[in-house]
Amino acid sequence: MVQILGLVLLSFFVISLLIVPYINLLYRIRLTRQHQKTRDIFEARTVIFDRLHSHKAGIPVGGGTLIIFVVTLLYLVVVNLAPFFGVERTSIYPFKKEVQILLFTFLSFGALGLYDDLRKTFGFKRANFWGIRFRYKFLIQWVLAFIIASMLYFGLGINIVNIRFFDIINLGLMYIPFAAFTIVAFTNAVNISDGLDGLASGLLLICLAAFLVMSSSILDTTLSVFLGLWIGSLIAFLYFNIWPARIMLGDVGALSFGATLAVTGLLLGKPIGLAVIGGMFVIEVVSSLIQLLSKKIRKKKVFEVAPLHLWVQYKGWQEPKIVFRFWLAQLVLAIFGLWLSFF
């Protein structure tokens, strides 16, 4: 565990050195949030969202790109040279296959998110070839999720769900659609939550800390090293992401981190624990889903605006207050999830 904490500090130091020049680079290439009239998945205008968030125009997006690059590079170095860092390389899965699944998830969903950031910023949405509607992006998410779920099932032999106080359920081949659903759900949950300064990255940091405790307890250093590097980079990023933000995760970070968070829970055999530890992400995506289904089926809204963080902002809560209270709620849920896992 001491070595893992050292890796947390290592990635924190590297991101801290690079992030200010990186922010300046994003300003120079104008990869910033644009003044735009946003629309939901049904192509309807989101007037309240635009009014509440118009002041965020001009903030650089794509902070997730730096984190993905640094964490991937450091991870490849550390896991291959683990003995030189004093880290004993242990794992409950085949080493190479676990590394491949983690990095494939991290990079593939990051690439999809990066394309979306570029499209929104530089106007690719106006070109027939380059524009991807939400339905097609959603389909690509499912394709990637099924690939990853198949890697978990066939490559690592994972096919069970451990439900505390009940039993271990063997899903067999049905594990693949179950895992794919989990990945897609958390991909969009983190993306939806990335609406206020520091919200998604802070919630994610709490989840990852809980999962680091769990992975360390089962001596899966392959996963623990990845989580440690990821946590350190997020701490450094969060310094510049809290209100008022100087940089945002962007879709590149939100999609990558949401999918990889889900895969972490699946690798630990704790998909139910994932739902508890990542409870605020679940609440965010459920509130958004309820709103969308109501608009589609009933032709009316349940809330004035969704997801939950946007609704309480509309009700008059100040942005920092929303973020801090969501962090506290996530912290309690993470502690509860850990208690359930070790009870």
Annotated binding site: 191, 251
Of 261, 264, 248, 243, the residue nearest 323 (C-alpha): 243
Structure tokens belonging to residue 249: 């995760």
Residue 43 has φ and ψ, to the nearest 5°, of: 65, 20
Question: Residue length, the chain?
Answer: 343
Binding residues for Mg(2+): 191, 251
Cα gap 268→279, rounded to integer Å: 17
